Structure 1
Amino acid sequence: MSSPTILPSRVRPHLPQGLTELLDEVDALTENEDHPSLHSVMGAFGPAGALPVMMLVALVIVSPLSGIPLLSSLGGLTIAGIALQLVLGRDRLWLPGWLGRRSIPRDRLSAALVRLRPAAEFLDRHSRPRLRMMTAPPVSQLVLVLCGLAGLSMPFLEILPFTSSLLAMAVTCLGFSLLTRDGLWAALAMMPMGGAGWLLVTLIG
């Protein structure tokens, strides 16, 4: 039996234009759920909300919730799946049912959103349209490919302290650059990606 396509559950007036607004949207969407699932959040955002949902998953991995066993691996696979479908230009998102049913206790999600808010406000204050070539095709497709590669790497690197969070931080910056049309953050994303690579090389060495 095939897993369902992610469809919008209600009409949304607009999509978030920054990280603070994204956190507000997630808080509102999940306020009546004890264990909000990825499927329910994606359904509420609708197909056009794929990029914000991918950023949300990355933010969860950056947050203290990353300490939950296997969360980074599942989050990385979700990021990779969403990024690949964005690259392919799909107008309907699909995720395996077992992945879409993954949920987080509402109280832990709320606490993580509170912890993330100062960083989100900082990024929103320091973003504006610039370096637009970094957020327009074909470079924007490369940005999404990098998000997918970072996501695919997370299950293999979860045993390395902070590595998954560094990669998730890079995905957040890459997605943020596309959301706000600020190519500077795509360039800055190379720093946490490089840091994750350095940790891996150091451990192997």
Structure 2
Amino acid sequence: MAQDERNRKALSHVLDELEQSVEGKEVRVQHVIDTLGHQSFPALMLIFSLISTSPASAIPGITAVVALIVFLLVVQMIIGRDHVWLPDVITRRKMDSGKLCKGIRWLRRPTEFVEKFARPRWTALTHRPWLWLPLILVLFLTLFMPFMEIVPTSGSVASAAIAFFSAGLLTRDGVLIALAHIPLLAAPVIVYTLGA
């Protein structure tokens, strides 16, 4: 498979890897990290934000957990860490396998839609210093996500914005990253409107 095609299918590949690795009734967060790789910050950010966007978000407390995971991932990306580190209290947390797989299946269609347009371009935006702004926006957004569980669907809106940015990183598509600024900036406004 050509490099361009691998980049284009990067999102589906993440879903494939995770779905194929699910065994038993429950999946630990550590299992997700081990499956996707300790160096793949964008893949981990994408999959956890997608989980919070999908029907798997029905798992109690999942939005708060995802917010904390993404927050820690972004901080480590900002400081230039090479390997993912998450505290044991997070990595030991379990997710229902059935709900997780249902969420992955639900995500297939929007993922395929994004992959039709995603391709490596404006790749300078996938590196520093251009990454600082979206990373900081994601960082601030995660601070509010635990409180969004009070307002139905608001956590999913915020997670979708983060997933959009992560998709741009994974596919090395600077256009997606540039467009991700729109939902990242709009998410707090939408959440405030929903809660009003």
TM normalised by structure 2 equals 0.87
Tell me the residue number matched to 2:117. 126
After superposition, the Cα gap between the structure-2 partners of 1:168 and 1:177, relative to the gap in structure 1 and judged at 3 Å, is same
Correspondence for 1:44: 35
**Aligned pairs (5 A) from 1:173-192:** 173-192=164-183
Q: Which residue of 1 aligns with 2:18?
A: 26
1:106 to 89, 97, 101: 97
What's the CA shift string for 1:148-189, capped at 9, x where partnerless? 222222112221222211111111111111111112212222
Say whether the 8 Å CA contact 1:33–1:106 is kept in structure 2.
yes
Equivalence map 1:158-197=2 (5 Å): 158-197=149-188
Q: Which amino acid aligns with 1:138?
A: P
Which shows bigger deviation, 51-60 or 33-42?
33-42
Indicate the larger mover: 149-158 or 79-88. 149-158
CA contact (8 A) 1:72 1:158 kept: yes
For residues 39 and 141 of structure 1, what CA distance do their matches in structure 2 show?
Answer: 27
Structure 2 SS opposite 1:36: strand
Seen in structure 2, the aligned counterparts of structure 1 residues 46 and 102 have a Cα distance that, compared at 3 Å, is same
- CA–CA separation in structure 1 for the residues paired with 2:13 and 2:66: 21
Residues of 1 paired with 2:83 and 2:187: CA distance?
32
What secondary structure sits across from 1:47 in the alignment? coil
Which has the higher relative contact order, 1 or 2, with Cα contacts under 8 A spaced 6 or more apart?
2
Normalised TM-score (structure 1): 0.83
Report the CA distance shift for 1:162/1:203 in structure 2 as closer, same or farther (over 3 A): closer
Distance in 2 (CA, whole Å) between partners of 1:203 and 1:46 is 36
Structure (1/2) with the larger helix percentage = 2
CA RMSD in angstroms comes to 2.2
The 1:185/1:15 distance shift into structure 2, 3 A limit, reads: closer
Displacement of 1:16 after TM fit? 9.6
Question: CA offset at residue 144 of structure 1?
Answer: 2.4
Q: How many residues align?
A: 191
104-113 or 151-160, which deviates more = 151-160
The Cα shift of 1:98 comes to 1.4
| Letter of the 1:151 counterpart | T
What percent of counterpart residues are identical? 30
Deviates more, 1:82-91 or 1:143-152: 143-152
C-alpha distance 38-175 of structure 1, shift in aligned 2 (>3 A) = same
For the 8 Å contact 2:11–2:111, the answer to whether it is kept is yes
Equivalent residue number for residue 115 of structure 1: 106
Structure 1: distance between partners of 2:14 and 2:85: 21
Ranges in structure 2 where 5+ consecutive residues have no aligned partner: 1-5
Matched AA of 1:27 = E
Going from structure 1 to structure 2, the CA distance change for 1:109 and 1:200 (only over 3 Å counts) comes to closer
- The aligned residue for residue 62 of structure 1 is 53
